[in-house]
Amino acid sequence: MPKKEMEKMQYESVKKLVSHLYEFNQFYHNRMKEANVRPEDIQCLSDVSKLPFMYKQDLRDNYPTGLFTVPQKDVIRYHVSSGTTGKPTLVGYTNGDLDYWSEALARSLTSVGIGKDDTMQVSYGYGLFTGGLGLHYGAERVGATVLPSGTGSTERQIELMVDLGVTVIACTPSYLIHIGEVAEKMGIDIRRDTKLRKAVVGAEPWTESMRAHIESSMGVKAYDIYGTSEMAGPMFTECEERKGIHMQSDMVYVEIIDPETGEVLEPGQKGEMVVTMLKKEAFPLIRYRIKDLTCLLNDECPCGRTSPRIERIKGRSDDMLIIRGINVFPSQVEHTLMQIPEVGNQYMIIVNRKGSLDEMIVQVELKNEAFSDKMTDMMMLKSKIEAEMKKYLNIAVKVDLKEPETLPRFEGKAKRVIDNRVL
């Protein structure tokens, strides 16, 4: 759809949503009153910036169903996200919500060339987490054959992948790497012995270097998939061009703001993503601050889709570590490590406070061929990695080299940071 028409459509959706919630929902009514905004103040799309923000705290304060806007009888599904702090977030879905969520995923999967001829192994968790069921319904809608593996029993998953000629896998990037390692141990070469050709990976930050590693070691093309439980679950992916994630504009209105001032930023400027969901029924969101850091891309995608695109998520503003006053994202650590040929797939970041000083230790698992019993070789390698870290991150980091296969593996989202300062 041409950009102008698309914006008109988004404006009409926002206008309808805001008027409806102002009139029929106490929470939204009060919020808008406090901010001194009325539905008639929204005269054009950019007027959305007049509306007050919504925060995770609002979801917690209204747990479990205080922000639902339909009667219980119309809610047909719950998903629950297990926040690491505070109460979990409960999301409810009407029939219509499940329909548009599946539609979003069907479009996304189509845009990466997945369809009827594919057999898709869904190795995201099924259950309260949105990953498994979300991808499952999307894949069925495009007519793919779905293998609902969920997480775990990795060897069995690999056997099924071989036996059933699985062509696409959907899972977290950390689980995909683990699957690759287990396959190798079973004597299975994913390139040679399986039909796997695509991977739809996300639910956690990953880097271009990780993509290069996955693709060269497994012979698949890996696509980034993004979403959050508050939005519905996994929803949006890159297209075949892999130049940013297409945020389907009839479903979501995206703003990028300066996290400090709340001011709306221009395309190309990096900041925190704020979403207004345009089609949700049971659990709407207006200007919800997701905390993910990215920017809107302003060039046109060569695929021809006109929907706004966001750059790969760099991390969450609340994941950012401040080490001796310097901002460090776990994704920067990963990127640096992946450039070093001796380094394997797994790492862990540990932050301690020693007296008044922060100390960052990076545990790095080495590749088999790089690990040696010779103390001097290991000391040299350690210094080399520390020097790379210092160059790229601008702070001194202690590197702790680990033997292959000694750090934890993850079947769902990886947990790579232990910040002992906040314990």
205 touching ligand DLL, by CB under 6 A = yes
150 touching ligand DLL, by CB under 6 A = no
Q: Which stretch binds ligand DLL (CB under 6 A): 41-49, 124-132, 159-167, 281-289?
A: 124-132
Among residues 8, 197, 270, 316, the one that binds ligand DLL under rule CB under 6 A = 316
Q: Which is nearer to ligand DLL, 180 or 205 (CB)?
A: 205
Q: Residue with CB nearest ligand DLL?
A: 202
As a whole number of angstroms, the distance between CA 11 and CA 15 comes to 6
Q: Which is nearer to ligand DLL, 202 or 284 (CB)?
A: 202
Q: Which is nearer to ligand DLL, 334 or 358 (CB)?
A: 334
| Strand bridging mode 145-147 / 119-122 | parallel
Binding to ligand DLL in span 208-227, by CB under 6 A: 224-227
Specify the residue for token string 């698309």.
6
Query: Edge to edge, what strands does the sheet with 119-122 contain?
Result: 145-147, 119-122, 168-171, 198-202, 221-228, 233-237
Among residues 92, 131, 308, 344, the one that binds ligand DLL under rule CB under 6 A = 131
CB atoms within 10 A of CB 415: 12
Q: Which stretch binds ligand DLL (CB under 6 A): 199-207, 210-218, 336-344, 355-363?
A: 199-207
Mark 64-103 with x for binding to ligand DLL (rule: CB under 6 A) and - for no binding.
-----------------x----------------------
Q: Which is nearer to ligand DLL, 294 or 346 (CB)?
A: 294
Q: Which is nearer to ligand DLL, 321 or 401 (CB)?
A: 321
Q: Which is nearer to ligand DLL, 38 or 87 (CB)?
A: 87
321 touching ligand DLL, by CB under 6 A = no
199 touching ligand DLL, by CB under 6 A = no
Among 222, 254, 256, 217, CA closest to 238: 222
Among residues 13, 157, 228, 363, the one that binds ligand DLL under rule CB under 6 A = 228
283 touching ligand DLL, by CB under 6 A = no
Among residues 106, 144, 179, 203, the one that binds ligand DLL under rule CB under 6 A = 203
Q: Which is nearer to ligand DLL, 168 or 381 (CB)?
A: 168
234 touching ligand DLL, by CB under 6 A = yes
313 touching ligand DLL, by CB under 6 A = yes
CB 68 to ligand DLL: min, Å: 18
CB 391 within 8 A of CB 374: no
Residues 6+ apart with CB under 8 A from 409: 174, 178, 181, 346
Among residues 93, 101, 124, 175, the one that binds ligand DLL under rule CB under 6 A = 124
307 touching ligand DLL, by CB under 6 A = no
412 touching ligand DLL, by CB under 6 A = no
Q: Which is nearer to ligand DLL, 22 or 205 (CB)?
A: 205
As a whole number of angstroms, the distance between CA 275 and CA 14 comes to 12
Q: Which is nearer to ligand DLL, 68 or 226 (CB)?
A: 226
229 touching ligand DLL, by CB under 6 A = yes
Binding site for ligand DLL (CB under 6 A): 81, 124, 130-131, 202-205, 224-229, 233-234, 290, 292, 313, 316
